């Protein structure tokens, strides 16, 4: 195990980082990590406090008891005059029933086009507050998984993500023409903006890189693919002396995911990168990149469709305190549990 940093872990009410950018009143961007079990109370608080608008984009909206609490809160928001609208992915079986339930509550919700997956997990409240990251609207995601999100209090960032939601509701198959917005230490990343940002961070890193990823579909036969470039950039960073460590999900039920993740684990371990498996009975659905003092949080897994086609949202934050938080998150004993051993090393024991 990599030694955990001496930072309190991890209830959201106990650890809040504020990023304050210059420019006087109204220009401050507050950033709060929202991880694991913190997501549901954070979302319910936002919905309860909304006064004008709630907008959301979600891959999944399950009909379980946990999501029922969200739907009840949205219904109360509608009753007090808040305009609630959203979009759900058309390809998830249970979302059709969710669309009907939400419409019955007064929510203006629609499915996306079947032509393109909407994998984003995004909420925008009152044109000011954004909650985004890896958490799906399912009880399993909120009650059991490792998940990573951030809450952003900034009207410029919220405006960009509001335009993104509007673009998807108009045509979710089209690529939205939305240049990144920077406010203080935070920069928005939508769809195809993720890959060049993360690759640039890896190529420029001089001290440390930490990655927590649910899925990494590395395939040597596809030389030059975007996934391969990211994975090989990690190996190159280790080769020039950067401290690189990666934690990837190891499932006790999803054999296909384990098969997909193994080539990346073997390649990186062979390149000297510290590779860790999470506990098999825990699903690590988080998507975290820490490179020196920069952090990327969002919905993107490392797969061809995620990097080249799907609707995805995230942010990059350049702040040493946020980086320290998520580096410490990486080092949790219930996340990076066991050092990965490739086939070759096991055969010599």
Query: Which residue did the predictor score with more confidence, 333 or 141?
Result: 141
Alpha-carbon distances, residue 299 vs 21, 120, 213, 231 (angstroms):
25, 6, 10, 18
Determine the average pLDDT of the residues in 115-135. 98
Cβ–Cβ under 8 Å, residues 299 and 164:
no
pLDDT given at position 254: 96
Could you tell me how far CA 124 lies from the centroid of its own chain? Answer: 15
Residue 333: the pLDDT is 77
pLDDT at residue 300 greater than cutoff 90: yes
- Of the candidates 182, 176, 216, the one whose C-alpha atom is nearest the C-alpha of residue 197 is 182
Q: How far is CA 288 from the centre of its chain?
A: 7
For residue 29, the model assigns a pLDDT of 58
Q: Each residue of 221-264: pLDDT tens digit?
A: 999 999 999 999 999 999 999 999 999 999 999 999 999 999 99
Tell me the C-alpha distance between 166 and 246, whole Å. 35
Class for domain 192-347, per CATH? alpha beta
**To 5 degrees, how large is the angle CA 258–CA 324–CA 1?**
45
Burial of 170 (0-12, 13-18, 19+ CB in 10 A): exposed
Contact 181, 314 (CB under 8 A): no
Asked whether the whole model's pTM tops 0.85, one would answer: yes
Q: How far is 252 from 255, CA to CA, in rounded Å?
A: 8
CA distances to 61, 120, 134, 138, 146 from 89, rounded to whole Å, are: 9, 9, 15, 14, 22
pLDDT for residue 344: 46
Determine the pLDDT at residue 23. 35
Residue 191 scores a pLDDT above 50 = yes
Q: For the residues 80-109, what does the mean pLDDT come to? A: 98
pLDDT at 1: 28
Nearest to 119 by CA among 287, 233, 338, 336: 287
pLDDT single digits (tens) 157-170: 999 999 999 999 99
Question: Count of residues for the chain?
Answer: 349
Q: Domain coordinates of the chain in residue numbers?
A: 12-184, 192-347
In whole angstroms, what is the distance from residue 149 CA to residue 171 CA? Answer: 26
Residues in Cβ contact with 271 at an 8 Å cutoff, skipping those fewer than 6 apart: 234, 235, 238, 239
Domains 12-184 and 192-347 are alike in CATH topology = yes
Q: Give the model's pLDDT for residue 341.
A: 78
Q: Work out the mean pLDDT of the chain and round it to a whole number.
A: 91
Do residues 116 and 91 touch, judged by C-beta distance below 8 A?
no
* Cα(184)–Cα(317) distance, integer angstroms: 9
What pLDDT does residue 143 have?
98
Name residues whose C-beta falls within 8 Å of residue 315's C-beta, 6 or more positions apart in sequence.
132, 150, 152, 157, 186, 187, 188, 189, 296, 297, 298
pLDDT at residue 214 tops 80: yes
* Residue 285 in this model has a pLDDT that exceeds 90: yes
List, in order, residues 6 or more apart from 220 with CB less than 8 Å away: 228, 263, 267
Task: Assess contact for 4 and 10: CB atoms under 8 A.
Answer: no
Mean pLDDT is lowest, of 82-91, 96-105, 272-281, 334-343, for 334-343
Mean pLDDT, range 53-79, rounded to an integer: 98
Q: How far separated are the first and last CA of the chain, in Å rounded? A: 20
* pLDDT of amino acid 298: 98
CATH topology of domain 12-184: Endonuclease; Chain A (3.30.870)
């Amino acid at each position: 195990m990599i030694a955990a940093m001496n930072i309190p872990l991890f209830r959201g009410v106990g650890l809040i980082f504020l990023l304050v950018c210059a420019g006087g009143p109204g220009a401050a961007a507050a950033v709060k990590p929202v991880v694991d079990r913190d997501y549901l109370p954070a979302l319910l608080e936002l919905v309860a406090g909304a006064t004008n608008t709630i907008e959301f984009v979600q891959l999944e909206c399950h009909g379980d008891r946990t999501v029922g609490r969200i739907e009840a809160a949205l219904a109360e928001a509608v009753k007090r005059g808040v305009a609630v609208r959203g979009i759900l992915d058309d390809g998830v079986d249970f979302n059709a029933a969710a669309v009907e339930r939400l419409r019955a509550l007064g929510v203006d919700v629609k499915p996306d086009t079947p032509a393109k997956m909407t994998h984003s997990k995004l909420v925008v409240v009152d044109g000011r507050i954004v909650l985004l990251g890896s958490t799906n609207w399912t009880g399993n995601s909120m009650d059991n998984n490792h998940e990573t999100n951030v809450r952003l209090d900034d009207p410029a960032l919220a405006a960009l993500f509001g335009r993104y939601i509007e673009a998807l509701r108009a045509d979710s198959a089209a690529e939205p023409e939305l240049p990144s917005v920077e406010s203080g230490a935070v920069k928005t990343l939508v769809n195809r903006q993720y890959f060049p940002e993360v690759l640039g961070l890896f190529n420029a890193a001089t001290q440390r890189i930490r990655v927590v990823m649910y899925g990494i579909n590395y395939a040597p036969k596809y030389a030059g693919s975007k996934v391969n470039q990211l994975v090989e950039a990690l190996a190159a960073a280790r080769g020039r002396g950067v401290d690189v460590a990666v934690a990837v999900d190891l499932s006790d039920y999803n054999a296909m995911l384990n098969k997909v993740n193994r080539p990346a684990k073997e390649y990186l371990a062979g390149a000297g990168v510290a590779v860790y498996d999470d506990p098999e009975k825990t699903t690590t659905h988080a998507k975290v990149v820490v490179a020196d003092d920069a952090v990327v949080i969002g919905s993107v897994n490392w797969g061809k469709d995620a990097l080249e086609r799907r609707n995805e949202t995230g942010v990059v934050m350049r702040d040493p305190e946020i980086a320290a938080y998520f580096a410490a998150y990486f080092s949790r004993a219930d996340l990076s549990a066991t050092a990965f051993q490739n086939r070759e090393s096991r055969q010599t024991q």
